[in-house]
Amino acid sequence: MQQSNHNACILVIFGATGDLTSRKLMPALYDLEFKNALHGHFRVIGFARRKKTNEEYRKEIFDSIKKFSKMKVKNDVWERLRDKIHYHQSEFRDFDGYMRLDRFIEKISGQKSKNCNKVFYLAASSEFFEVIVDNLKKAGLAFKGSREPYHRVVFEKPFGNNLKSAAKLNDIIGKSFDEEQIFRIDHYLAKELVQNLLVLRFANSMFEPLWNYKYIDHVQITVAEDLGVEKRGSYYDKAGALHDVMQNHMLQLASLVAMELPVSLNAADIKEEKVKVLRSIEPFSVKEVHNITARGQYGEGKISGKKAAAYKDEEGVGKKSYTETFAALKLKIDNLRWTGVPFYLRTGKRLRERVAEIYVVFKQSTPVLFHEHLKNSELNMLIVRIQPEEGISLQFNAKVPGAKILIEPVRMDFCHECKFGPNTPEAYERLLNDVMLGDSTLFTSWGEVENSWKLIDTITKAWQGKKPKFPNYEAGSCGPREADALIEKDGRKWIEPQKPSYSVLLENNHKK
């Protein structure tokens, strides 16, 4: 991990007492400190409305780090980080709070605020994005343009709730920051196996020649969660699976699988190829949406033998809610490489297990020699397991020992942790470091956001026009029957996740 910058860097977190800060951001900063990746002049300022002293805030952060950091908490590491943590109390709409922030930065850095590198992390509700950015500009805390010292702003999803609101927000932000200063987070992009997709595609001569419609039958992408909405009920009931996961994570994964070879590993070149994929997705009308989508909402059920409440009984959720907790989508990419190859995407909550996998399913070869033996065989496929138990598997056919010719599918598994160890950087650790380095490769561009919303808005409009019969799947199941029908009408079926061969090994290692 590279060191961030030789100058003082001030990270200001808006929403410093929220769940994201305690669960993800502060543990990530501790992990960076653990690896000596934070400069001695680095400072983090928590900006929030609750009244707290520095010591009270530091104590809360220490408790969060103990609970959520993957690294063992060492006193010397914590003491180094503790002295870099400060608290600033203010309402987001209080302009005077930003003027006091300017003076506070000068106090803790020992130099004029305008001479400090600054990163503004908006870990707050999206309704405050506009007022925060506007106040930063008015207070002279941020300057538009690529310059030294740098001023960068980080946004969590959702970036808008449709194309119109996203475009408005982008215009507002653009008055204070240039595109190269804006970092839109999709934490899925920082997961190791997602980053590995480019290497898998373009650093292996065995795969690239096969990566097209001649050899690939279809692609499936599954992002499933066994958890419900937890404490995010009020937010989730306004978003749903389509906006919360499909619009960002799922379409990002699809674009990485389908993209062409970029000119270089430069962030702009990679993003350009991803945008081309999104623009190449075959357009569909509102009337056609019911043919290419399925949605669902979970009812009561059991997860790992324990009773799970229905979505409508979750805290913060309306009793008559029609918000989907499951979404499935069939896409076609209209270009020379992917013509006729469907991409099936599905995501949902309260499903049987937590798993994120990409399945590249190859066409059945002409079985001249083993025609009778391959009648009911499974197709060859490449499986990228993003979480948990990260790895890559190749499924092919092999002969069962014995006198008769019996053919069964087998898998060769690559275990990421077995090879490289368990201490690969967490997503937020990598992302925070990249922001300070100015590397936007793992962040989404406006072009990606714009084109993904164009697709999702059409689906949203169609779904709003018809009230579904919810709930339509039990908690702990594989999802609604409508999703099965979506893929089965094409003569295919969803691939259910299988534990990789190295699961037991990882389990034993973790117990040790």
| Biggest CA pair distance of the chain | 84
Report how far residue 494's alpha carbon sits from residue 160's, in angstroms, rounded to the nearest whole number: 31
Does the active-site annotation cover 249? Answer: yes
Whether the link from the prior residue into 27 is cis, omega within 30° of 0, is no
Instruction: Give first-to-last CA distance, the chain, whole Å.
Output: 27
Whether the CA torsion 271, 277, 280, 283 is positive or negative: it is: negative
Instruction: Spell out the SS3 assignment of 439-492.
Output: CCCCEECHHHHHHHHHHHHHHHHHHHCCCCCCCCEECCECCCHHHHHHHHCCCC
Contact 64, 23 (CB under 8 A): yes
Closest of 371, 229, 349, 227 to residue 296, by C-alpha: 349
Closest of 242, 353, 231 to residue 297, by C-alpha: 242
Residue 345: phi, psi to the nearest 5? Answer: -120, 135
C-alpha distances in angstroms, 345 versus 221, 329, 388, 440? 5, 5, 18, 26
Number of Cα atoms under 13 Å in the Cβ half of residue 39:
18
Helix (H/G/I), strand (E/B), else coil: 235: helix
Q: Which of 41, 218, 249, 416 is catalytic?
A: 249
Report how far residue 120's alpha carbon sits from residue 97's, in angstroms, rounded to the nearest whole number: 15
Amino acid at 424: T
314-344 burial, b at 16+ Cβ within 10 Å, e below that, comes to beebeeebbbbbbbbbbbbbebebbeebbbb
Retrieve residue 371's tokens.
């025609």
Which strands form 151-155's sheet, in the order they lie side by side? 85-89, 43-48, 9-14, 117-122, 151-155, 182-185, 443-444
Report how far residue 118's alpha carbon sits from residue 108's, in angstroms, rounded to the nearest whole number: 13
Report how far residue 415's alpha carbon sits from residue 104's, in angstroms, rounded to the nearest whole number: 47
Retrieve residue 159's tokens.
């970036």
What is the DSSP-derived secondary structure letter of residue 264?
S
DSSP string, 383-435: EEEEESS-EEEEEEEEEPSSSS--EEEEEEEEEHHHHH-S-PPPHHHHHHHHH
- Which of the residues are catalytic? 249
